[in-house]
Structure 1
Amino acid sequence: MTQHISWQKGSWSTEPKSSSETDSHLVVEAVKGSDYWQKTMYGFQHDNGHSLLIPWDTGQSMEVTFMFEGFSELYDQAGIMLWHSPNQWIKAGIEINDGVPHIGAVVTDEFSDWSLFPLPANWSEKKVTIRASMYKDAVIIRARAQDSHWHTIRVARFPYSEGNHAGPFLCAPTSDAFKVTFTNWVINDPDEDIHTDPPITEI
């Protein structure tokens, strides 16, 4: 059963530059230099991205929907954050890399990895939904544009049965004016399995 989540129910991990509700949407501006990353390749550690989190029952799925617009600077990013601790988390969504919008995920367990692929061209200027659902000791992450089917973008280990939080996130590592309009935040039933697409929630 679909449960819509009020923006007021979440707590920011780090306060954004600004946030406001307009027509039931949440418009958020990121602080320049905000990011999440742990050590791998670059050596640095960042944990000052903006995540609006609620407790996440791993017997449920979560979906975050936002407008794909305004992404322009290197590493502008938004999507869903799955948070267990400062050293165990997953972020998934859209990110600008070398001028090209990509969809991907960063999975962190002490160290961060990064997987991504170019965003389908027909997703431009549309609403994008990122979905996460626990399955055994893993999480299945899917994405879709408003008029497309689900695409599985990552299956990652996430074995934490309690103490989890999740919700929308955005970061602006290089941009000083990055805004994202989040349009929907819902809890749904979990995925049946990796090969069965979940139902589509109207966005």
Structure 2
Amino acid sequence: MSGLSGVTRVAWESGHWTTEPVSSEVDGDALVVTAAEGTDAWRTTAYGFIHDTEHALLAPFAVGAAVEVAFTGDFSGDFDQAGAFIRTDDENWIKPGVEFSDGLLQLGAVVTRGVSDWSVAPVPHWAGRRITVRASRSGDAVAIRARVDDEPFALIRLAPLDPDAQVEAGPFLCAPSRAGLTVRFESWTVTEADGSLH
């Protein structure tokens, strides 16, 4: 997808699920997805478990491209989460987005290279609003940005990503602690990678 110009909407049916959700239904241009209880993505660090049951809808993600996922949801159960999922293989993946933790909506990313790490910052004022996560792949890195509504994007993470790897990306959600998390993915688009980090 390098050499892209403009914005291309990714068709929901062109992606494949890593784990099938309870339900997914096209509503106009949006995809409404309900997560299964107990789903998550994590490898080992601090908790000692490996979870690879996330609902991620993935399509190829080339060097020189950026993927954006916009969504809304009622994130109110412990560790309810949604955003973008960037996957190389079972042991190498990134999940930037929002997660309900410690009683607040948090913005952050998990970067997994064999084992997972996690960074978060509270964004309680984002609750109930349209959130967009943007992952821009260039060279040996992926730059993660996010915003709420039409506010400017802010850089939240820069992570290594093998430039020779076959990578897939797209929207994801998980519900580690409850049934009934439903997320409305309003758009999934691909465009040219960002020209610079700053």
Q: TM-score range by the shorter chain?
A: over 0.9
Alpha-carbon deviation of 1:34?
0.3
Match of 1:174 in 2: 177
1:33 aligns with 2:38: yes
The alignment status of 1:55 with 2:52, answered yes or no, reads no
Does residue 66 of the first structure (1) align with residue 71 of the second (2)? yes
Query: Percent identity at matched positions?
Result: 42
Q: Check whether the contact 1:57–1:162 (CA below 8 A) recurs between aligned residues.
A: no
Amino acid at match of 2:13: Q
Equivalent position of 2:13 in the other structure: 8
Query: Does 2:134 align with 1:137?
Result: no
Provide the rounded CA distance (Å) in 2 between the counterparts of 1:10 and 1:126: 25
In structure 2, stretches of 5+ residues that fail to align are: 1-5
Q: What are structure 1's unaligned runs of at least 5 residues?
A: 196-203
Q: How do residues 35-184 of structure 1 correspond to structure 2 at under 5 angstroms?
A: 35-67=40-72, 69-119=73-123, 121=125, 123-184=126-187
User: Is contact 1:135-1:193 (8 Å) kept?
Assistant: no
Runs ≥4 residues deviating over 2 A: none
Paired AA for residue 94 in structure 1: V
Aligned-partner Cα distance in 2 for 1:28–1:161: 32
Alignment RMSD? 1.0
> Could you say which residue in structure 1 is the equivalent of 2:3?
none
The 8 Å contact of residues 58 and 162 in structure 1, kept in 2 or not, is answered as no
The answer to whether the Cα contact below 8 Å between 2:105 and 2:127 also exists between their aligned partners in 1 is no
Length-normalised TM-score, structure 2: 0.95
Deviations 1:48-67 (A, max 9, x none): 11000001112100000001
Q: Which SS does the other structure have where 2:26 is aligned? A: strand
Q: CA deviation at 1:40?
A: 0.5
Deviations 1:83-140 (A, max 9, x none): 000000000001000110000000000000000100151x232211100012321110
Once residues 54 and 164 of structure 1 are traced to their aligned partners in structure 2, the CA distance between those partners, rounded to angstroms, is: 8
Matched pairs, number: 193
